[in-house]
Homo-oligomer: A and B are copies of this chain.
Amino acid sequence: MQTDTILGRIDDGLDDSLRRLFDLLRLKSISTDPAFKDECRKAADWMAAQLTEIGVDSSVRPTTGHPMVVGHRKSANPSAPHVLFYGHYDVQPVDPLELWASDPFDPQMVTRDDGSRMIVARGAVDDKGQTMTFVEACRAWITETGDLPISVTVLLEGEEESGSPSLRPFLEANAEELKAEYALVCDTGMWDPDTPAITTMLRGLMGEELEISAAAADLHSGMFGGAAQNPIRVLTRILGGLHDENGRVAVPGFYDGVTELPEEIARQWEALGVTAEKFLAPFGLSKAAGESDRSVIEQIWSRPTCDINGIIGGYTGEGFKTVIAAKARAKVSFRLVGDQDPDRIREAFRAWVTAQVPEDCSVTFHAHGNGRAITLPVDAPAFAKTRSALADEWGRDPVLGGCGGSIPIVGEFRRLLGMDSILVGFGLDDDNMHSPNEKFDLQSFHKGIRSWARIIGSLGGMS
């Protein structure tokens, strides 16, 4: 089998792959800090040179911020599918530096007591290590066969860790060039160190800020306490009623458009045997706080939720001040699933709040963000091929998981380029992404390259 020889080449070339990854990890491409602008440019140059070297014709493309790297390689097979691969070369800041066991930009191979090894550096997993799993898989295919069985466009961003300000304009300006049949995104995680995952559901997000006002100015709670409306009292009363006694969101119509899990996925999740105790233990918690009739996994992946993200009013400093504040403010966000309509929910929330505002008080609202949930088409052929390739590599079916948060790139690809994304990644929960001592298990890196080699073959009809 051709795939077997390619996998053998990957195994034999692992040290070279690591050498290249370490070269990339030494570049201090912190995108949020202008002091590292040149290092970001160096990382973009390095990536473009690396891609061009293996035969993906690449260039560094300017934006108003850090540049994009774009590369193309057409397969010799004219009927080969065309995919866009997305990754990012920028990394998070390293503070607090004193908590790192080694220099974050001097990558180390650390061996654990059990003999397993891990790569420790800023960007080891997020997203330099992950990005290189795909690049190294392409290198193995091209070196071994002189070709890729799929046509590839590569898009590497340099501002993912700083809010992707240039992404949308760049996608809009280069839509024709970047468009493909679907995108492969490598920036997510595995289910556990031995179980791969494809992220197939992303919750949407709708944010609201509300401010309750009462008297024209702050009042003395001795003189007016009792007689004057207190906006904090009004706000806590309203927000205190956001959830019913079963943990369901009380806004009328909120659950319109919420869909139940497909049978197969529900069974798969149940088989994972996740308990709230196990899942929440790392954070000092033990009991799922959401809808009482839903498992913890459903609560974070497939059920809509509401959280109060911030609240402020009155005197909050040291000591005490007997004030009745004139205003109180809160920020509330809703995570959405299925076909929930953010606009209708915003309207319903505002109506629900407004109806509870008593005489002498008023409320103003301010919208923050508005994204629908995304459910990726797990039944599409490319998904089926990706699943089976991952199953072949890891010896078990990948978990078709959800993601409680949003991954903006997936929405942008759908909206601006009209294509869905397949999210495959090899990160682990203990990788310390965004924290000191970020690491990437050597097994994740190695089998990640092998996984992509198999997926590329599978998508190209070569296995």
Contact = CB atoms under 8 A, between A and B. Distances in A.
A61 interface: no
By secondary structure, the A interface counts as mixed
A315 B332 CA distance: 10
A329 B315 CA distance: 11
A320 B225 contact: no
Contacts of A291: 226
Contacts of A18: none
A313 to B, nearest CB: 5
| Contact residues on A (Cβ < 8 Å of other chain), bracket | 35 or more
A381 interface: no
Contacts of A35: none
A314 interface: yes
Interface stretch (A81-89, A103-111, A212-220): A212-220
B311 A314 contact: yes
A311 B329 CA distance: 10
Nearest to A285: B360
A242 B230 CA distance: 12
A232 B310 contact: yes
Interface in A258-293: 276, 279-280, 283-291
A115 interface: no
A313 B239 CA distance: 13
A238 interface: yes
A321 interface: yes
Given A232-B311, A235-B236, A333-B322, A280 B316 contact: no
B220 A285 contact: no
A320 B321 CA distance: 28
Given A216-B283, A240-B239, A314 B320 contact: no
Contacts of A192: none
A405 B220 contact: yes
A107 to B, nearest CB: 27
Interface stretch (A2-10, A117-125, A201-209): A201-209
A227 B335 CA distance: 12
B322 A309 contact: yes
Nearest to A367: B320
Interface in A383-432: 403-406
A237 B313 CA distance: 16
Interface of A: 203, 205, 207, 209, 214-217, 219-230, 232-233, 235-243, 276, 279-280, 283-291, 296, 299-300, 303, 305-316, 319-325, 328-331, 333, 335, 358-360, 368-369, 403-406
13 contacts: A220-B404, A221-B333, A222-B335, A222-B406, A224-B283, A225-B335, A226-B290, A227-B276, A228-B289, A229-B285, A232-B239, A232-B310, A311-B313
